[in-house]
Structure 1
Amino acid sequence: MSKNSNTIGIIGLSFGDEGKGKITDYLAQKADIVVRFQGGNNAGHTVVHNNKTFKFHIMPSGAVLEKEVVIANGCVVDPKVLLKEIENLEAHNKNLNLKLSSTAHVIFPFHKVIDGLEEKFKGDYKAGTTKRGIGPTYSDKAARFGLRVFDLIHPELLERKLKRLYDINKKVIHCYDPDWIGDFNEILEKYKIYGQKLKKYVIDTAYYLNTQIDKNKKVIFEGAQGTLLGIDHGF
């Protein structure tokens, strides 16, 4: 908990599966906003509400309570997974109030390919990755050539930037599997559709959250994974 008692961070101190989703769901009852601030859809938070079970991988747990939920810039987002979770909430007649960061980075199919190949070649040093492309997407972010949600919702930017990203990752994949063949055009067309479907949720979440905290809104920051899985403090 910060000096501002209206903001609470929920962090796992082990290897994950500490029950962060359940704690978030409990505390969210008195919160205004629930924020996922890091990680991707390798997280798995299960929430039971009104005898219905919801399994979230990227959506903040407060969504089942129809709270305002934010996916912030520290996250990496698989648009296909996010849209599926949105559809699931809508199918259960939940009123979704979602805000998605314009600067969160985007997971692409070739990130998942690299994730699996790298895990295979690590041998005894395997990290136990979920092979969902989380690590390679963060690698592209750190290398400053990854694509953000802002690029995803602007088709004129998406094609040019995605081609560069695709070509770079294709070379990496061929280091492990020279026979790999991808389909750039198929990826491009699918992600154009994803972008237009998600466009209505996209804002500058950093600015927005700061304004809401200044207004003394109660905000919960929902962590993903656990401390012992972290790059700095984990194994």
Structure 2
Amino acid sequence: MNFAFTDFYAFLRGPGFIISILVFTAGFIYRAVSLIRATRRVRKLNINSNNYIRHNAPAAQRSGLKQMISAFKTKMKNTIFFSNPVMGIISLIFHILLFITPVFLTAHNIIADLTTGFSLPVLPERLTDFFTISLMAMGVFFLARRIFIPRVRMISTARDYLVLLFVMAPFVSGFFAYHHFFNYRVVIYLHMIIGEVAIMILPFTSLVHMPFIFFSRFNIDSEHSIIPGNRSW
């Protein structure tokens, strides 16, 4: 039994981890290429106005700055930060913690170092434990919001609930494993399996909006972008 546990754990920690990273990388590249092919570069008007700029530079700069500020305000009105600032801040914190907590976790970087010889700087364990608790609390908040707020419940599908539960599963199982709740072997198996499956399927699900947030909000010009981008659909 001990041998079987050690052998399977070694597979998940070694080949399983590497396979998940390779699949994620391939999927990320595929989605990035697909995104580039689905958009086109915005052509800027190339007006030969050297004389105007030379004689009216201060006024042109002020006008350009006002236009940028006005465009930014207009874009922000289409975001959740304008319609529901509290929800926008909670969502932003949730997405930030969703990324930095597993990436800079001590245990994960130890495994990465043992497997690949490469690791990232780590955050204090107490801090990542606090981040995990915060993520679980926000996950409960998002779930309760979908269940108890009628206007949110009406537009929620079974897929929305499954995605939320699947996102939270690695953090809940990791928290249980770290604090040795329940049967450690079962919990650590579940944590590693769910985590590696999540890494592999991330580029192929709606969760891909997280790593592509920069492109969708800052690089592609649309009704959801925060600033005018240099590409459009």
* TM-score class normalised by the smaller sequence: under 0.3
Give the TM-score, by structure 1 length.
0.27
Flag the structure with higher strand content.
1
When you count helix as a share of all residues, which structure comes out higher?
Answer: 2
Structure index of larger Rg: 2
TM-score w.r.t. the length of structure 2 is 0.27
